[in-house]
Amino acid sequence: QVQLVESGGGLVQTGGSLRLSCAASGRTFGGYTMGWFRRAPGKEREFVAAITWSGGGTYYGESVKGRFAISRDNAKNTVYLQMNSLKPEDTAVYSCAAAPDVIATTQIQYDYWGQGTQVTVSS
């Protein structure tokens, strides 16, 4: 089992920035691709970003490319999501997840999920 706990959400104005963190514990963090997903009210869960175990591969959803950056610190068992130039449409609950596949951009590939952290962008 891998336990995931997100933090760093909050309220920010349009154009602002936030950095989300996801701390992993339990079974080894190693070998897992880590991803971020979000779910806005009344919408389907959406892929945001993913990063491979080595950090050498990163993938982004179209709506966040150029604004968000995913990174990880394996020594700290933590993955981050730096969110810049935030827009009201970025408002959602953001969840991190862990997948055994090297390239994982769909939620069905992910085995472990955190509870999520709320991000609200005011206009």
Q: What is the mean pLDDT of residues 91-97?
A: 98
- Residue 108's pLDDT is 95
Q: Which two tokens stand for residue 15?
A: 């154009």
Q: Which two tokens stand for residue 52?
A: 């491979």
- Residue 2's pLDDT is 87
- Among the listed residues 106, 40, 51, 114, the one whose alpha carbon sits nearest the alpha carbon of residue 81: 51
- Residue 43's pLDDT is 96
- Residue 60's pLDDT is 98
- Among the listed residues 117, 121, 10, 22, the one whose alpha carbon sits nearest the alpha carbon of residue 77: 22
Model confidence band, residue 92 (pLDDT cutoffs 50, 70, 90): very high
- Name which residue leads in pLDDT, 119 or 29: 119
What is the SS3 assignment for 102?
coil
Average pLDDT along the chain? 95
